[in-house]
Structure 1
């Protein structure tokens, strides 16, 4: 469903229901059932209906209220009231003065009444406060030197009680230049997105890309982390075990824009994943993932095309001149380093290899896995809001069509959530009450293009002075650019081969030696001079 449009209070209630239901055992006792009924304020029939639905799917959105129309008491704050609340939170509540929640509510209520607005209740304001980042609030109230007690057992350390309790994710620029798989010409340094389980120090998964850090790289890394990796390893001919998998309870990240995207926050809430941000100025909060990244980069410094850690170590070496590995080859090498070396070595903090710690401790954990791996990835993809018009939906100046969505087109002013993969715009996913439906370009002859290609084509058109954007011209421009690049690669390769041939070919001189030879008696050959070919290398 399109849960990104559900208001915050509805999500909070669904999460509360999920928390209560997730604590019930497979065969709850009569006392546990009565307690759950009391906490949730529902009948026995409703409790078991929710429990059946929740256990079949495992997602929070299955517990959202299903009454038609807006839910009573769960409407979002009016824009004017929201503005007053945010102003008082920023300039009054989240300051060194540290006022109480009651005083905060009084200040908000006073300004609302002065403006002739209906003030929110103190309970509703409390729910709004609960949605704010506690680490960021603590930093603003106590200063940068204070630590978040929710995640820190002692200052400077981050503790996780069990596997999958806390997983850290971060990005880094890989210290190796990769080459094109066809031309073998250098392409640049890829970006690595890596995830680690804090309790066992297991690398949960990773994603390697030539694109800068984005919501897509996070989605692919997280999907790789939660899935069983048996087929993934087999596709790369890696005969090793990588048992780490499962949905984490908490994801610990820095304050990058991709981690604050609404699609990411709501997808985490959908799968009951708590999202914790690293407070600015506290690098110790990311120590586990930073050390793992450092370990991986140290192993990659042995590869051709390595940039090493700094200019001093690199010296006069030209990494691009020595680059030899493609992105796929580097991905396989990195996977081998993780499963064949890092997981198998004794970790100083554990006194055992990470893989041994995982196998010993995971037995006590109820591992959660997504019911639909494809939908799990789609839920974390970036999204846009669009109307379904009579001729389809328009995204990135491309018209998409879907027969399944024909009945909704041009009949509603509601904007639908459109999920897309920036690597391939040949298909997008439209969120409806019945799940996701695929939509493809109305012109099926269009080639599959990436978002970066699309934006490059738009820049080229704007540089040419065009004001209006035409879909036909966009695709024609992309195809022309591709042909230009392919021709440049072919020409460059041919030129390099010709240069190499000229450098190796011996110099040839033709010497007329006919005057020094006795002429043959046959008169027919007297007019033909006799030549010898002499060759040497300078």
Structure 2
């Protein structure tokens, strides 16, 4: 189990302070004996006493996550506001209507205006220092936009790094999605399905592929989380499972992840998960596609290789001509995943045009330039859960209710009907048979369906079942009816899968989602096949030493 505070219930001021501390304390914690000048400089930068900094370094070494650096809860919280709500409302009104104007009044004039408003309303006026403290917390870019216009704010605060570059391995990893230019077939009937989605990650310094994720579903928070999981985890066992003998050494936490502005890259789960592990999340400026040039070129390279596969759709209609992509399709998703892994390992060993050396060699050189070694998760399972979507749910006397489904485990007994606040519950849309509940002490518990006879279902199946029940006028439905509807729909889809492509897509998505989300289970041993008609050569049977007991 993973212990620690629930990062989703921490107020923003405390979380921001922990994030600000993380980089400096991580640097000190990586040193066996920090020099005195570095230590005192960190004390000054973070506004901490030496004893408190020692405590934070010790805590970070024991639990190297951002949430271990949260400020103490005792006493008045730093940044908290102790003025009456009426006074705070007057300050906010004066800032909005008086201070954020093109006349650009000073703080002294703002304080005078606030005192006038407070006197007219019979409210206690704040001090000049209280007003100044609130102005100091404002977003300077937003303030400049209100007082001087959008152009002035862009010119003054928009970053202008030019071409995105990195010197060391895992300084920056870029992530993006693309539709693969090939049609895959289903596993059962080998009939055409659709073009799958590919999420790719590239290390900018070495151009090495950091990880990827292939799916039939459109890009989502889960596909981003699974791509990040793949880039963080060691690749040896995964490659061995695919029957590939190749070197792919990239793994661990990147210092920064660079993404575009799609919805799945703006989720709270991704932001908090990255902050928890000290990963900076950088969003590409709007309308600046050149900022993602490295990942775009990698996608182009991969799709160029895909165009040689049977069932390719090529880049456009003119290039495809009269080629029948669906009729030529032969590869399943599993086969395409293995082909993609082989193609990536070949790309790693080939000379890169911009670097002049293979990405694999560039990785080793870029890794040697790092001042500090790449960090690795102390709990890969907990790391994955931190990036899953989550909601707050109360523990009722009969368990936790989510999506109209009931979850129960004996561990919930101590909170059932007694805990006054909801608990953070993470879920995997590919398999709703289990959720992960964060206890008040930070321990993460897996909780299954209350009825263990229920089969695993996906969130997509659940939504389709609820929609079908609503169409039948059953707005208030129970769990049993949901599962009966899903079973009936599965039977119809399985029967229709031979005839229609849409049905085959639903079957393939369901089987891949539930299969991928299920825990790894050892395959049953196959009985040895003995040919009865083949004579036994008794001379080859080994003789063993036997201990005789009298």
TM-score, normalised with respect to structure 1: 0.80
In the TM superposition, 1:78-117 aligns within 5 A as: none
Contact kept? 1:167, 1:197, Cα under 8 Å: yes
Aligned residues, how many?
485
- CA drift of 1:397 comes to 0.6
- Give distance in 2, aligned partners of 1:73 and 1:247: 31
- Give distance in 1, aligned partners of 2:213 and 2:399: 33
- Give distance in 1, aligned partners of 2:171 and 2:211: 16
Please name the residue that 1:501 is paired with: none
1:16 aligns with 2:23: no
Please name the residue that 2:536 is paired with: none
Please name the residue that 1:504 is paired with: none
Greater Rg, structure 1 or structure 2? 1
1:129 aligns with 2:139: yes
What is the DSSP-based 3-state SS (H/G/I as helix, E as strand, rest coil) of the residue aligned with 1:247? coil
What is the DSSP-based 3-state SS (H/G/I as helix, E as strand, rest coil) of the residue aligned with 2:349? coil
Please name the residue that 1:353 is paired with: 358
Contact kept? 1:98, 1:141, Cα under 8 Å: no
What is the DSSP-based 3-state SS (H/G/I as helix, E as strand, rest coil) of the residue aligned with 2:497? helix
- Aligned equivalent of 1:318, options 324, 330, 333: 324
- Aligned equivalent of 1:395, options 371, 389, 402: 402
- Give distance in 2, aligned partners of 1:76 and 1:251: 38
Please name the residue that 1:369 is paired with: 376
- CA drift of 1:282 comes to 0.9
| CA-to-aligned-CA distance 1:478-511 (integer Å, 9 cap, x gap) | 1111111222235789xxxxxxxxxxxxxxxxxx
- CA drift of 1:361 comes to 1.6
1:35 aligns with 2:41: yes
- Give distance in 2, aligned partners of 1:6 and 1:281: 34
Task: Call closer, same or farther: CA 1:307–1:438 in 2, change over 3 Å.
Answer: same
1:445 aligns with 2:450: no
Task: Call closer, same or farther: CA 1:455–1:407 in 2, change over 3 Å.
Answer: same
- CA drift of 1:364 comes to 2.9
- Give distance in 2, aligned partners of 1:186 and 1:439: 37
- CA drift of 1:170 comes to 0.8
- Give distance in 1, aligned partners of 2:112 and 2:435: 46
| CA-to-aligned-CA distance 1:339-388 (integer Å, 9 cap, x gap) | 11x21222222121111111012023220111111111100111112111
Q: Which runs of 5+ in 1 are unaligned?
A: 494-538
Task: Call closer, same or farther: CA 1:334–1:121 in 2, change over 3 Å.
Answer: farther
| CA-to-aligned-CA distance 1:140-189 (integer Å, 9 cap, x gap) | 54598x7986461x3xx112232211111111111111111112122211
Q: Which runs of 5+ in 2 are unaligned?
A: 502-550
1:336 aligns with 2:336: no
Contact kept? 2:111, 2:131, Cα under 8 Å: no
What is the DSSP-based 3-state SS (H/G/I as helix, E as strand, rest coil) of the residue aligned with 2:391? strand
- Give distance in 1, aligned partners of 2:464 and 2:87: 39
What is the DSSP-based 3-state SS (H/G/I as helix, E as strand, rest coil) of the residue aligned with 1:194? strand
| CA-to-aligned-CA distance 1:30-89 (integer Å, 9 cap, x gap) | 333333334444444432221121122211001113436983534799899799979989
What is the DSSP-based 3-state SS (H/G/I as helix, E as strand, rest coil) of the residue aligned with 1:343? helix
- CA drift of 1:399 comes to 0.6
- Give distance in 2, aligned partners of 1:318 and 1:370: 46
Please name the residue that 1:5 is paired with: 9
- CA drift of 1:226 comes to 1.3
Contact kept? 1:101, 1:126, Cα under 8 Å: no
Task: Call closer, same or farther: CA 1:14–1:98 in 2, change over 3 Å.
Answer: farther
Please name the residue that 2:251 is paired with: 245
- Give distance in 1, aligned partners of 2:61 and 2:95: 41
Contact kept? 1:429, 1:439, Cα under 8 Å: yes
Please name the residue that 1:49 is paired with: 55
Task: Call closer, same or farther: CA 1:171–1:151 in 2, change over 3 Å.
Answer: farther
Contact kept? 2:91, 2:131, Cα under 8 Å: no
What is the DSSP-based 3-state SS (H/G/I as helix, E as strand, rest coil) of the residue aligned with 1:171? strand
1:464 aligns with 2:472: yes
Task: Name whichever of 259-268 and 36-45 sits farther off.
Answer: 36-45
